Amino acid sequence: MPEVTKYRPNIGAPRTPANEEPAAERARDFRPVDTGYTKADAIAEANRCLDCKKPLCMEGCPVGVHIPQFIEKIRQEDWAGALETIKADNLLPSVCGRVCPQENQCEGKCILGKKGDPVAIGQLERMLGDMADEVGTAPECAPANGKKVAVVGSGPSGIACAGELARMGFDVTVFEAFFTGGGVLTYGIPEFRLPKAIVKREIDGLEQLGVHFEYNSVAGRLFDADELFEDEGFDALYLAVGAGLPRFLHVPGENLPGVYCANEYLTRTNLMKAYEFPIYDTPIRHGKNVVVFGGGNVAMDAARTALRLGAEKVTLAYRRTEAEMPARRAEIHHAKEEGVEILELANPLRFLPGPDGFVSTIELQRMELGEPDASGRRRPIPVEGSEFAIPCDVAITAIGTRANPFAKLCADVELNRWGLIETDEHGRTSNPKVWAGGDIVTGAATVILAMGAGKTAAHSIAETLLAE
């Protein structure tokens, strides 16, 4: 019998650092912030894993990726096997490895994190996802079962649902309003954080599974659920239309030219490639003094995009302090490293125009933190007489989004008072043929939660349709 050597983790080894591009250089173009782990990095990092009997990391993963198993396969240098292990639970490792808040999920639960740094699970996942062209194999699909499912929206939730259903033998069509797929992965998350080639590869992968994509198809205007069921023979519908409607500050001057909401700023840049104007036709205003309002990941994306569009100074103004920002720590760290300045405890009062009619000045007010509010964070309170002004030629508001209003035009489903769709834990809506998931159910949340909802709904749809 061959000798079986028991795995001994490399206890005490430091976390393998990310291969980040120098901040000063990368902040001037749209190249990826970090180039990802090499195979050697991945093996070194995999050797830090304690291979816990009761892996807490898995509990932290919203879709239950078998993390210790794929890490073990990395140690064995079985790259194809490692990728397959992830893909069994998560169709989009390249995306999730980059944009999941691992610090609150898998890595947040990792035992190593109690005393030092957790295993870099996100980096490992990303690296494996990126090896798909080299080692990936198309997942096997069950034989066609003759049932047709329509998915509305090609963001993370729609993609996850479509992929899962296709693998189970369903005939799936995804309807997308834009001319290209990916939803927020394409129009929202910048190239430097999630290269669009990766999103495209994932969509191509779904097409290889037999999923049809119909672009330029605005659900609720071009068709509705009844037409899909009655005229086009669909048996079920999954609504994943997102919650992309912007919120505004509702302060004077907010409509001045030069004041953007982050959705517009990012859509122009990411989807329409305004950073390549005039080769691409869509323009964007390049500010010298850019001020961003908000403290979430979208605010960080907008601020960092402004730097890459050539801003001399980018200030991120937030009503609370950095500690209360909802953005990922890594994003805040990257933004600061690249030169974004954070202005804490500052609330905008009004935008003022310059002689050219564009925004030129912002009046703000100092805030102080009071008692915790419903969110558990300390409530910002205005400090009287603390008004001050800063120059600004582009302002970007990133203070959250609302439900997509097309949801109600699309199908007769029950909505709550925020316009979000009511579902049970399987994604079932009040309409027996319609399921829903992602941000249109939860309100703005994470990519992985949206994907998890898509997967859950896919199984519920399968169970229902195959029982018929």
Partner 1 sequence: MFKILKKTQFSEKVFEFRVEAPRMAKKAHAGQFLMVRADETGERVPFTFANWNPEEGWIEFIFMVVGKTTQCLSQLNEGDYIRDITGPLGKPTEIEGDRVAVIGGGVGLAIAYPVARMLCEQGKKVYVIMGARNKDLLILFEQFAALPLEELFVTTDDGSMGEKGVVTLPLARLCESDAIDSAFAVGPVPMMKFSARTCREYKIPIVASLNPIMVDGTGMCGCCRVEVGGETLFACVDGPDFNADLVDWDDLAHRQASYKAEEALSIKHHEEACACQK
Q: Which residues bind partner 1 (CB under 8 A)?
A: 177-179, 187, 215-218, 221-223, 244-246, 248, 250, 254-258, 261, 263-264, 267-268, 272-273, 276-283, 285, 357-358, 404-406
In the complex with partner 1, the residue whose CB is nearer, 308 or 334, is 308
Distance CA 82, CA 73 (A): 5
User: What's phi and psi for 359, nearest 5 deg?
Assistant: -60, 140
For residue 21, the number of C-alpha atoms closer than 13 Å in the C-beta half-sphere is 15
Beta bridge partners of residue 259, listed in sequence order: 395
In the complex with partner 1, the residue whose CB is nearer, 39 or 221, is 221
SS3 236: strand
- For residue 147, the tally of other CB atoms under 10 A from its CB is 21
SS3 350: strand
In the complex with partner 1, the residue whose CB is nearer, 261 or 364, is 261
Q: Shortest approach of partner 1 to residue 260 CB, angstroms?
A: 8
In the complex with partner 1, the residue whose CB is nearer, 280 or 388, is 280
Q: Shortest approach of partner 1 to residue 197 CB, angstroms?
A: 15
Contacts of 74 (CB under 8 A, 6+ apart): 42, 43, 46, 82, 124, 128
Distance CA 309, CA 312 (A): 10
Contact call for residues 365 and 386 (beta carbons, < 8 A): yes
Q: Shortest approach of partner 1 to residue 115 CB, angstroms?
A: 45
Question: Could you tell me the two tokens for 126?
Answer: 């990303």
Q: Which of 295, 251, 256, 254 is nearest to 399 (CA)?
A: 295
Q: Shortest approach of partner 1 to residue 171 CB, angstroms?
A: 19
Q: Shortest approach of partner 1 to residue 257 CB, angstroms?
A: 4
Distance CA 98, CA 300 (A): 15
Q: Which of 224, 243, 240 is nearest to 232 (CA)?
A: 224
In the complex with partner 1, the residue whose CB is nearer, 257 or 372, is 257
In the complex with partner 1, the residue whose CB is nearer, 204 or 424, is 204
**In three state form, how does the secondary structure of 129-148 look?**
HHCHHHHCCCCCCCCCCCCE
Q: Which of 202, 24, 176, 28 is nearest to 99 (CA)?
A: 202
User: What's phi and psi for 392, nearest 5 deg?
Assistant: -165, 125
In the complex with partner 1, the residue whose CB is nearer, 261 or 317, is 261
Distance CA 217, CA 175 (A): 6
Q: Shortest approach of partner 1 to residue 406 CB, angstroms?
A: 7
Q: Which of 406, 405, 439, 441 is nearest to 222 (CA)?
A: 406
The H-or-E segment that residue 338 falls in is helix 329-338
In the complex with partner 1, the residue whose CB is nearer, 144 or 222, is 222
- Which residue is associated with the tokens 């790259």? 79
Q: Shortest approach of partner 1 to residue 412 CB, angstroms?
A: 18
Q: Shortest approach of partner 1 to residue 245 CB, angstroms?
A: 6
In the complex with partner 1, the residue whose CB is nearer, 30 or 79, is 30
Q: Shortest approach of partner 1 to residue 284 CB, angstroms?
A: 8
Distance CA 462, CA 466 (A): 6
In the complex with partner 1, the residue whose CB is nearer, 70 or 223, is 223
Terminal C-alpha separation, the chain: 52
Q: Shortest approach of partner 1 to residue 360 CB, angstroms?
A: 13
Q: Shortest approach of partner 1 to residue 298 CB, angstroms?
A: 13
Q: Shortest approach of partner 1 to residue 17 CB, angstroms?
A: 37
In the complex with partner 1, the residue whose CB is nearer, 325 or 398, is 398
In the complex with partner 1, the residue whose CB is nearer, 258 or 380, is 258
Distance CA 191, CA 332 (A): 17
Q: Which of 211, 60, 41, 58 is nearest to 131 (CA)?
A: 41
